[in-house]
């Protein structure tokens, strides 16, 4: 039966946040040839003089908090996020089916097989000299960083003015023989960009969203620190589900991603700490590039290689516990197949967590065995498991099991507030914030809340540390 990509929605506001949370299989990272290495050495040597520390810091905001004109409730933000998550996982699954995509029909253009245009968190950065400010979706499932540029033949609505390359003294276009353009071509197995021609690209997403433009070099500013000659996409024709942002920051493992291009000045490590999605609109989530001090006491699990999908951050899962019960799940439910399907991805842009049916079905049974509240119609909420908790909510005695994901070397506890969501404003119904997937499993951002998540490509691992991301002690 085709996937049930269900819908989920409002985090328990009255539940106390508590979280709990150790190293590696190699990851697949494309090696740069001598020419490519020379490009990075030439341009990023200059960056050393501008960066006074080994880290760059910025903030993440939930994308729905940035849209003007209306004030969205937490339930509306969750519902919007879940709808985007369903589209996102559909794209990811379609991409795995198609695998590496197809060659573009437009002469001189390279077409991307990237599949996730949606995302939940937006990061502020500036481009150019003098700096022009933008709000960009952070995406751990893609590599290219791009913004809409003027002149623009087709553009979606965005919160800030278009990037104007003519107003920047540090902007330049790349040619087809440039190392960065070659990385883009080789990664896509496209050979139609030649010599000294301008490096035009088409970055297409599974739902028809796309950006078409020129691969360029520009100064990127985060906070008070600037890095020159970072490869970015300058999109002159863009359409799709990007509303609420000016573009995308690619945080994947590929050579074109922002973390990869920041090295060697900044280590290819980044971390974020997502605040509760029911937090006020003014509450931001910190994101750090580089080997920050706070990363040292995180517990790490190895990254796992998937040569057919090398951009994504796969992690090894050895089992799942619901409450105190270890759920009987076959190892195959978490393994990557020879065709590239399966496995477990850690992702910033998906709201809820999806499990392949081999894991999801016995997991649901384990929850049902341990919960005594009356089960209610989950279908009306587009979910799989919901309970009427009106009596418990009234007297404050709510008791629902937590869950532990047993990563390799790390037991990652998902506490009640990150697992169960309110779907009624009255607080009378809660539903499990997880759904079923056909092609792979994915750990969503609700389950990551109030944890420091460290993507350490240098040491081929991902770290977890429970912490109050809003800085409070409560």
The count of residues in the chain is: 474
- Rounded to 10 degrees, what is the CA torsion of 177, 181, 187, 191? -50
Helix (H, G, I), strand (E, B) or coil at 100: coil
Closest CA to 340 of 62, 28, 64: 28
Q: Is 347 labeled as catalytic in the residue annotation?
A: yes
HSE value, Cβ hemisphere, 13 Å, CA-based, for 325: 15
Report the candidate in 34, 30, 31, 39 with the shortest Cα–Cα distance to residue 179: 39
Q: Which residues contact 309 (CB under 8 A, 6 or more apart)?
A: 95, 96, 340
Tokens of 383: 């979910």
Q: Does residue 417 contact residue 5 with C-beta atoms inside 8 Å?
A: no
Catalytic residue among 139, 143, 246, 470: 139
The secondary structure of residue 342, as a DSSP letter, is B
CA 30 to the chain's CA centroid: 20
> Which residue has 């960056």 as its token pair?
47
Is there a catalytic annotation at residue 139?
yes
The two three-digit tokens of residue 62, written as one number: 């939930």
128 in Cβ contact with 113 (< 8 Å): no
Spatial distance between the Cα atoms of 236 and 100, rounded to a whole number of angstroms: 25
Which residues are CB-contacts of 211 (< 8 A; sequence separation ≥ 6)? 146, 148, 202, 203, 233, 235, 237, 238, 247
CA distance 377 to 363: 18
Q: Which two tokens stand for residue 248?
A: 């995308």
Residue 232 near residue 127, CB atoms below 8 Å: yes
Place of tokens 């090295």: 263
Q: Is 22 exposed, middle or buried (0-12, 13-18, 19+ CB in 10 A)?
A: middle
Rounded Cα gap, residues 305 and 269, in angstroms: 17
Catalytic residue, from 64, 143, 246, 347: name it: 347
φ, ψ of residue 3 to 5 degrees: the values are: -50, 145
Buried b (16+ CB within 10 A) or exposed e, 274-290: bbbbbbeeebbbbbbbb
Catalytic residues: 139, 347
């Amino acid at each position: 039966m085709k996937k049930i990509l269900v819908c989920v929605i409002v985090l328990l506001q009255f539940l106390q946040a508590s979280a709990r949370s150790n190293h590696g299989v190699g990851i697949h990272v494309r090696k740069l040839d001598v020419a490519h290495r020379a490009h990075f050495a030439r341009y990023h040597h200059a960056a050393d003089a501008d960066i006074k520390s080994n880290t760059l810091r910025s903030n993440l905001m939930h994308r729905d908090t940035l849209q003007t004109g209306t004030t969205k409730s937490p339930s509306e933000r969750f519902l919007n996020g879940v709808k985007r998550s369903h589209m996102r996982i559909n794209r990811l699954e379609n991409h795995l089916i198609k695998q590496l995509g197809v060659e573009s029909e437009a002469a001189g253009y390279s077409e991307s097989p990237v599949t996730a245009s949606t995302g939940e968190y937006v990061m502020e950065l500036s481009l150019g000299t003098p700096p022009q400010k933008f709000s960009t979706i952070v995406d751990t499932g893609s590599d290219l960083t791009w913004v809409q540029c003027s002149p623009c033949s087709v553009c979606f609505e965005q919160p800030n003015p278009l990037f104007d390359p003519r107003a920047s003294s540090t902007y330049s276009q790349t040619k087809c023989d440039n190392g960065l353009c070659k990385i883009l071509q080789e990664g896509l197995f496209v050979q139609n960009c030649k010599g000294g021609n301008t490096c035009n690209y088409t970055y297409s997403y599974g739902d028809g969203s796309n950006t078409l433009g020129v691969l360029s070099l520009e100064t990127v500013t985060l906070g008070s620190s600037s890095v020159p000659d970072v490869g970015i996409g300058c999109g002159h024709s863009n359409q799709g589900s990007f509303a609420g942002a000016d573009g995308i920051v690619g945080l994947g493992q590929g050579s074109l991603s922002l973390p990869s291009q920041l090295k060697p000045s900044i280590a290819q490590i980044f971390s974020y700490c997502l605040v509760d999605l029911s937090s006020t609109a003014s509450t931001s989530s910190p994101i750090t590039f580089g080997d920050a001090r706070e990363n040292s006491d995180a517990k790490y699990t190895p990254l796992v290689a998937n040569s057919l999908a090398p951009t994504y951050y796969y992690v090894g899962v050895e089992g799942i516990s619901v409450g105190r019960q270890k759920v009987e799940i076959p190892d195959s439910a978490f393994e990557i197949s020879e065709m590239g399907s399966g496995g477990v991805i850690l992702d910033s842009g998906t709201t809820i967590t999806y499990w392949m049916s081999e894991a999801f079905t016995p997991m649901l049974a384990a929850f049902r065995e341990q919960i005594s509240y009356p089960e209610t119609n989950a279908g009306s909420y587009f979910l799989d498991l919901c309970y009427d908790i009106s009596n418990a909510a009234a007297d404050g005695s709510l008791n629902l099991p937590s869950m532990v994901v047993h990563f390799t070397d790390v037991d990652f506890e998902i506490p009640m507030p990150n697992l169960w969501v309110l779907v009624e404003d009255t607080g009378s119904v809660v539903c499990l914030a997880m759904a079923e997937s056909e092609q792979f499993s994915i750990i969503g951002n609700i389950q990551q809340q109030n944890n420091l998540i460290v993507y350490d490509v240098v040491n081929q691992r991902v770290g977890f540390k429970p912490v109050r991301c809003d800085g409070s002690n409560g």
